[in-house]
Chain A
Amino acid sequence: MKLLQTGRWITAVGLVLLAGVYVRALAFTPVERFQGPAQKIYYVHVPSAVVSMMAMGLVGLAGILFLLLKDQRFDRFGEASAEVGTAFSVVMLTTGPIWAKPIWGTWWTWDARLTLTLFLFLLFLGYLLLRGAVTDPGLRARYSAVLGICGLVLLPFIHLSVYLFRTLHPQPIVLKPSAPSLPGEMLVTLLVSFLVFVLLYVGFVMQRYALSLLREEAAHA
């Protein structure tokens, strides 16, 4: 199948490029003065967080489109995006505490964005659990679309609620409307890493989507 082959190639290229990102981040990007080498965790943590968020957004969007158009493809995409998003949120949830320990002095704290990431992970898991618990394919597609949309709407509320609770997470410094306050070389590394993570997301989703197709074929045969 063409989709599967393309997905495999994109994933392979993405993994090679990931090695390239490591080399660039470790050898060719300056060490931050106050945080030391641990700051470099940022180059894998932030892209995985952004990609997980994006994956959840696309799950919600796929849900809306599925309910409007009743097209199976959106359901398969939602399933693929949720599973791949789970993988990236695991990266985000493991690298976050590893960065927090040397910098904040604690593995975990109920900081706003940290809490948000945990929620994101739990939403993904809930979505996948719901899919596993429904056997009828038509019902499963509609249920998971509903849950995906609700999750998408919930995220801003969680953000708002935990933000008002209290926060010590570093403020976003890349997307500030004034000039980004990250030094040029670090910014380039971050953006390159971000692109590689997006590429990996695309490769993974294509493979996962192809897997759903293969399973449907096997079920019909």
Chain B
Amino acid sequence: MWRHAWYLARKDLLVEFRSRTAILSAVVFTVLVLMVFNFGRDPTAVAAVDLAPSILWVTFTFAAMLALNRAFQLELENQALDGLLLAPVSRSSIYLGKLIANLVFVATVEAVGLPLFALFFNVPILHVLGPLVAVIALATVGFVAVGTLFSAMTARTRFAELLLPVLLLPFMIPPLIWAVLATAALFAGRPLSEATGWLRLLAAFDIVFVMLAFVLFPATVNE
């Protein structure tokens, strides 16, 4: 199962990184959202540091949404999904493959976004880099686990680009809340122990929803 999942993920990522259009668009989009935030606040009234956790997480939420929207759109062209379903791989490995590919994609965008965020808003992140990466990783797994499941459903509906955010955003709020609180604690230089509680909740969310999506995914593609 893992081998199949890995092959599928690699196939998706090869397509993604060879063409480079999607990943480049997502990165440019992230930069633009960061710029919008910079001009969307009154610099004399609100210090950048106070807004920093929100800016970071709203940007990542949008970027993840954009990435998830195209996860299954790709398969719909030329009925690639039907071909995939005919192949002798289990439905669950298809999910795992998609999940891994989406995680790598979103992680790449975040890896570019994070330094730019630190640069643009003058937030020192180096001294908290380890815990911050842990927060981002845990929250991203939660977002993407549910998002991959939902994008498999919305891809075959009308208004897919609109429906996915509408369905997905409520599911992004709990990890978002915890990630923002943990990030704020880290940026404010408070002791690490204050963030670990949020990290545990994030991990619990990830475990529950990865397992749930894994179990439910076959129901979204079986004919």
Contacts and interface: CB of A to CB of B under 8 A. Distances in A.
| Same assembly | yes
Interface of A: 67, 119, 122-123, 125-126, 129-130, 133-135, 139, 142-143, 145-147, 149-150, 153-154, 157-158, 160-162, 164-165
Contact of A122 (B153, B170, B178, B205): B170
Given A142-B220, A161-B201, A162-B177, A129 B212 contact: no
Contacts of B213: 150
A160 B177 CA distance: 11
Interface in B154-176: 154, 156-159, 163, 166-167, 170-171, 173-174
A146 B91 CA distance: 15
Given A126-B166, A126-B167, A150-B149, A133 B157 contact: yes
Interface of B: 146, 149-150, 153-154, 156-159, 163, 166-167, 170-171, 173-174, 177-178, 201, 205, 208-209, 212-213, 216, 219-220, 222
B176 to A, nearest CB: 9
Nearest to B197: A164
Contact of B177 (A126, A130, A145, A165): A165
A146 B167 contact: no
B159 A133 contact: yes
Given A129-B163, A130-B153, A143 B212 contact: no
B201 A153 contact: no
B149 A130 contact: no
B54 to A, nearest CB: 14
B157 A130 contact: yes
Main secondary structure of the interface of A (DSSP, over half): helix
A26 to B, nearest CB: 37
B174 A154 contact: yes
Interchain residue pairs A-B with the least CB separation, the first 7? A133-B157, A161-B174, A157-B174, A161-B177, A143-B153, A126-B167, A146-B216
A161 B170 contact: no
29 contacts: A67-B216, A67-B219, A119-B170, A119-B173, A126-B170, A129-B167, A130-B153, A130-B154, A130-B157, A130-B163, A133-B158, A135-B158, A142-B219, A142-B220, A142-B222, A143-B220, A147-B167, A150-B212, A150-B213, A154-B170, A154-B171, A157-B174, A157-B205, A158-B170, A161-B174, A161-B177, A161-B178, A162-B177, A165-B177
B209 A153 contact: yes
Nearest to A141: B219
Contacts of B146: 150
Given A129-B163, A134-B157, A157-B205, A149 B170 contact: no
A93 to B, nearest CB: 15
A218 to B, nearest CB: 22
Contact of A153 (B159, B167, B178, B212): B212
B143 to A, nearest CB: 13
A135 B201 CA distance: 38
Contacts of A161: 173-174, 177-178, 201
A17 to B, nearest CB: 34
Given A130-B154, A130-B157, A150-B209, 4 more contacts: A129-B167, A146-B153, A153-B209, A165-B177
A119 B150 CA distance: 17
